[in-house]
């Protein structure tokens, strides 16, 4: 969807812009998916699983920009990509069309500056405005920073998905399930 740019002031005094992501960022987004999945194990994909072509990524960003119910939010600091967040429906069957889901990741150098909470706040606001009534998410149980940011934005823990993830080192990790009424 298209939405208004929003400027926020970070904890270190820099300005950050939150704006709709778009096809012109396709190359940077491929790089971003690889780098962020190298910087943390708390994302679903491993870097070698990022295999979008530039053309495919442009097409995805273009169609999300035109989709009035999907959010693809880019955060930039001093003109550089700091992170991205997204909101999508969880399925098209009528019984679940009230629910959407959110994902977010920032480059590590931008963690802890307030960008996450600002993006989560803005994404929940936009999702509510277009009619989603509930936002769901899953977070690795050891991801304390993300859990803290979600709770500060009003998300509530509802349960645990046992051994939801198996890392390449053979360890298993639970996911915490959270939701927010929009
Ligand atoms: C999760 C993520 C989006 C959060 O964004 P962020 O900009 O770093 O977070 P914020 O600075 O907005 O807020 C984090 C809050 O958690 C708090 N926090 C950090 N670590 C914490 C911990 N171990 N325990 C409790 N609170 C913690 C911070 O103090 C901050 O609260 P404050 O603003 O009141 O001080 C970001 O860290 C990130 O991209 N992480 C890697 C990818 C990821 O894990 N994505 C989520 C997958 S579900």
| pLDDT at residue 142 in the model | 98
Q: What percent of the chain has pLDDT over 70?
A: 100
pLDDT-based confidence at residue 18 (cuts at 50, 70, 90): very high
Distance CA 7, CA 17 (A): 5
- Ligand 1 mean position, distance from CA 164 (Å): 21
Task: Read off the pLDDT of residues 100-143 as tens digits, 9 standing for 90 and up.
Answer: 999 999 999 999 999 999 999 999 999 999 999 999 999 999 99
- Ligand 1 mean position, distance from CA 117 (Å): 8
Structural domain includes residue 171 = no
Structural domain includes residue 143 = no
Structural domain includes residue 14 = yes
pTM score above 0.85: yes
Structural domain includes residue 91 = yes
Structural domain includes residue 144 = no
| pLDDT at residue 40 in the model | 98
- Ligand 1 mean position, distance from CA 111 (Å): 7
Domain count, the chain: 1
Cβ atoms of residues 83 and 123 within 8 Å? no
Q: What angle do CA 22, 147, 131 make, to 5 degrees?
A: 50
Structural domain includes residue 98 = yes
E-strand stretches of 3-70: 6-9, 15-20
pLDDT-based confidence at residue 91 (cuts at 50, 70, 90): very high
Mean pLDDT over each residue of the chain, to the nearest integer: 98
Structural domain includes residue 180 = no
Task: Read off the pLDDT of residues 55-75 as tens digits, 9 standing for 90 and up.
Answer: 999 999 999 999 999 999 999
Query: Considering only CA atoms, which residue is closest to atom 35 of ligand 1?
Result: 112
Structural domain includes residue 107 = yes
CATH code: domain of residue 80: 3.40.630.30
| pLDDT at residue 85 in the model | 98
End-to-end CA distance of the chain: 18
Query: Considering only CA atoms, which residue is closest to atom 1 of ligand 1?
Result: 146
Q: Which domain holds residue 25?
A: 6-133
Tell me which of 109, 112, 122, 151 to substitute to probe ligand 1's pocket, judged by most ligand atoms within 8 Å of the beta carbon. Answer: 112
């Amino acid at each position: 969807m298209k939405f208004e740019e929003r400027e926020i002031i970070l904890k270190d005094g820099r300005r950050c812009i939150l704006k709709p992501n778009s096809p012109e960022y396709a190359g940077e987004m491929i790089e971003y998916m690889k780098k962020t999945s190298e910087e943390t194990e708390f994302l679903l994909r491993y870097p070698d699983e990022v295999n979008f072509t530039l053309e495919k990524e442009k097409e995805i960003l273009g169609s999300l920009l035109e989709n009035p119910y999907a959010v693809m939010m880019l955060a930039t600091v001093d003109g550089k990509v700091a992170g991205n967040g997204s909101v999508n429906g969880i399925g098209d069957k009528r019984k679940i069309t009230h629910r959407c889901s959110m994902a977010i990741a920032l480059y590590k150098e931008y963690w802890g500056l307030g960008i996450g909470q600002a993006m989560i706040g803005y994404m929940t606001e936009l999702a509510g405005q277009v009619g989603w009534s509930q936002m769901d998410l899953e977070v690795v149980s050891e991801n304390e920073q993300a859990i803290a940011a979600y709770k500060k934005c009003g998300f509530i823990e509802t349960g645990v998905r046992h051994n939801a993830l198996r890392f390449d080192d053979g360890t298993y990790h639970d996911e915490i399930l959270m939701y927010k009424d929009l």
